[in-house]
Amino acid sequence: RPLNNNNPTDVPAFKKPRLDIDHTTAELKTMDIQLVDSLRASMATTQWGDENCRNDTMANITKAQCMILACSDLEHGSKEASATVDKLIDALIDSEIRHVSVALRTYATADEARCESKTIFVEGILKCDCSITQLAKLCVKEKLQGLPVDAIIDRIEKETKLAYASVTQKKFFEVLEGALGVKRVEGTNCLPSKPGG
């Protein structure tokens, strides 16, 4: 008979977003500072004859000050960790965008693209690759803001492709709107139906 394993370590741990952790650390540090101020005010009103009470208050002030230092170290470590994660995310986005560019170049040289005369459009996209890339990176970072690292890694490939396609489409329509003097209405589709469709 299989044994029941109620070990809590088998339960997936809930991961708080980095922004929540940073905010909680800052709140804790603020509370510690307020506690020190409160203890000092309390000690100022304590009678000099009550030595035990004053000693206890001094000990609590020392502990609270140690907690403030610990929070400061935690804040510093958290900021360094956040900076490292941000660099990792930037590198992952850059890698995914390079994959998109390679895929476009591969498609532009494929027989299918040449037969369908799509290579001209692809070459036009690649000429604007630098500006498209910059906007796409901003879109992806905004989309993934505040998510846990594992969720970011899971979604970064899809979000990068979607952002690149969205920015490219927007730039394409901006050119048409400028050239033709018309404004595109979102959701409209003027393409003819396929024969027999």
Mean pLDDT, the chain cut into blocks of 10 residues (197 residues total):
48 50 65 69 60 69 73 69 75 86 79 67 79 89 82 86 90 82 61 47
35 closest CA partner among 74, 75, 71, 63: 63
Q: Is residue 6 part of a domain?
A: no
Which pLDDT does position 128 carry in this prediction?
Answer: 79
- For residue 97, which of 140, 56, 61 has the smallest C-alpha distance? 140
pLDDT of residue 163: 92
**What confidence score (pLDDT) does residue 101 get?**
82
pLDDT recorded at residue 8: 47
Structural domain that includes position 37: 17-180
pLDDT at residue 12, rounded to an integer: 44
Global model pTM greater than 0.75: no
Q: Residue 4: inside a domain, yes or no?
A: no
Q: Which pLDDT does position 119 carry in this prediction?
A: 74
The predicted pLDDT at position 111 comes to: 65
| 7, part of any domain | no
Q: Has residue 194 been placed in a domain?
A: no
Provide the domain count of the chain: 1
pLDDT of residue 44: 64
Give domain status of residue 61, yes or no: yes
**185 assigned to some structural domain:** no
Q: Is residue 82 part of a domain?
A: yes
Q: Please check whether residue 154 lies inside any domain of the structure.
A: yes
